Amino acid sequence: MSGLYSQEHQIFRGSVRKFLEKEVLPNIDDWERDHDFPSEIFKKMGEQGFLGVLVDEEWGGVGGDYVLASAWCEEFARVPSVGFTTGVNMHSVVVTAALNRLGTTAAKEKWLERAVNGDAIGAYAFTEPGAGSDLASLRTRAVRDGDHFILNGSKTFITNGARADYVLMLTKTDPDAGFGGFTTFVVDCSDPGFKVARKLDKLGWHASDTAELVIEDVKVHESQRLGEIGKGWYYTMESLNWERMMLTLNSLGGAEACLEQTVQYVNEREVFGRTVGSFDNSRKLLASLWSRLRAGKAYCHEIIARINDGEPCVTETALVKQLVCELAIEIADRCLQLHGGYGYTTEFRPERWLRDLRLNTIGGGTSEVMAQVAAKQIGLY
C-alpha cells in the first residue's frame, strides 16, 4: 500500500473503479471513435460526488484535500482515454476547484453547485494563438465599463472549450502594470459575443474537445471573477501548478495501466515456442521501466503530501512533471514495441496510450519550460 493513501483512500479508489467499470469502460472505445463523450456522464459522476472532490461542502462538494484528489486522479487516469479523463479533470479538479478557492460569492452562486452536479461544465482559458509558453504576452483585454468589463480577444487549445457553459478567462485589465495587470473573469458562454471558432483535430485525446475561442465585446459583470482585480497572474500560476500535478498523476496512472496490460500480453504471446515475457531483454526492459515508474510515483506522492501541507512546491512540480510525463511516453512506446505488429494496431492499447500520453509533456507547460522553472532553483544561472 502507498504511504500517501490511507485505507479510506483505497476504499474510495475501489468505489471509483467500480463506477468506471460500469459506466465508462464499456463505452470508452465508442467515445474515442466518436471524438466525443456524452455530457450525461458528468451528471452521473456528479451524483457520486466525483466532480466536487476539492469543493467545500457548503457548495455541494466533498470538501476533500489534495491527497483525496490525487487518489481520484491516479485511479481515473487508468481509463484508456486521456482525452476523456483530462476533459473531466480540467472541469472538476482544476476549474471548479479554482472557482471554489478563489471565486467571488456571486460567481460561486452562479456556477459552483451546478458545476459539482455536472449541470454546468467549465474550461480554463489561458493560452492564446500568440501566447503559450510566454503567457504574459497574452492580448485578451478587459476594459472597465461602469460595473462591467468588456472583453475582446481570442484563446486557443481550450479543453472543453466547445462544450463549456463557463470559462475562467485570463485577461489583461492593465497592460502597463506588468504581472499586476491580469484578471481572471468567469465568462458565461451563452453571453453575446462568445464564439467557439473551431474544434481542433489532434493526434490523440480524441474523446475531448479542444477549441479555439473568439471573444468580441463580451460584457462581464465585475463580480464574475476570481479573486481581486489585478491579481489574476498569481492565481493562474497557482492553478497551473496544480494542473501540472493533475497531468503528472494522469501520466502516472496511464503508464501504470499500460505496463500492467503489457505484462499480461507478453506472458501470453508466444514466439519461437516461448512467451515474449520469457526473453531476457523483455524482462530487463520491463523491470527497468517498472522500477523507474515506481521511483516517479514515490516522488510524485512526496510532492502531493507537501502541497497538502500548504507548501507551494513550484520547482518540485515542474521537475516531477517533466520526469513522469516523459517517462510515461517512453513506457507507452516500449510497450508498443513489445506487442510487435499488434502494438501498432488500434486493437491493442499501447498505440492510444502513446498518442494520448504524448500531450502531457506539452499541456500545462512544456518540458522545456518546466526545465526553465526548475533551473534557477536548482542552482543554474
The residues of the shown chain that bind ligand FAD, judged by CB under 6 A, are 90, 123-127, 132-133, 157-159, 202, 205, 210, 359, 362-366, 368-369, 372
**Grid cell for residue 307:** 502541497
243 given a catalytic annotation: yes
Residue whose C-alpha cell is 456571486: 106
Closer residue to ligand FAD in complex, CB, 143/200: 200
Please give the grid coordinates belonging to residue 326.
516523459
Please, how many CA atoms are within 13 Å of residue 57, restricted to the half-sphere of its CB? 2
Judge whether 307 and 245 are in contact, CB under 8 Å.
yes
Q: Report how far residue 234's alpha carbon sits from residue 182's, in angstroms, rounded to the nearest whole number.
A: 9
CB atoms within 10 A of CB 29: 14
The nearer residue to ligand FAD, 71 or 324, going by C-beta atoms, is: 324
Q: Which is nearer to ligand FAD, 123 or 258 (CB)?
A: 123
Cα–Cα distance for residue pair 68/74, rounded to 1 Å: 10
CB of 337 to ligand FAD, least distance (A): 25
Nearest position to ligand FAD, beta carbon: 132
Closest CA to 330 of 360, 365, 307: 360
CB 76 within 8 Å of CB 89: yes
Q: Which is nearer to ligand FAD, 259 or 320 (CB)?
A: 320
* DSSP 8-state symbol, 272: T
> Which grid cell sits at 206?
480524441
Least spacing, CB of residue 251 vs ligand FAD, in Å: 14
Give the active site residue among 243, 256, 316, 351.
Answer: 243
Min dist CB 93 to ligand FAD, Å, is: 13
Is the Cβ of residue 118 or residue 122 nearer to ligand FAD in the bound state? 122
Nearer to ligand FAD, 90 or 331 (CB): 90
Task: State the nearest-atom distance from the C-beta of 263 to ligand FAD, in Å.
Answer: 29
Least separation in angstroms between residue 290's CB and ligand FAD is: 28
Is the CB of residue 25 less than 8 Å from the CB of residue 79? yes
CA–CA distance, 181 with 205 (Å, rounded to integer): 33
Closest distance of CB 112 from ligand FAD, Å = 19
Take residue 310 and report the three cell numbers written for it: 500548504
Inter-residue contact 106 to 221 (CB < 8 Å): yes
Which residues are marked as active site? 243
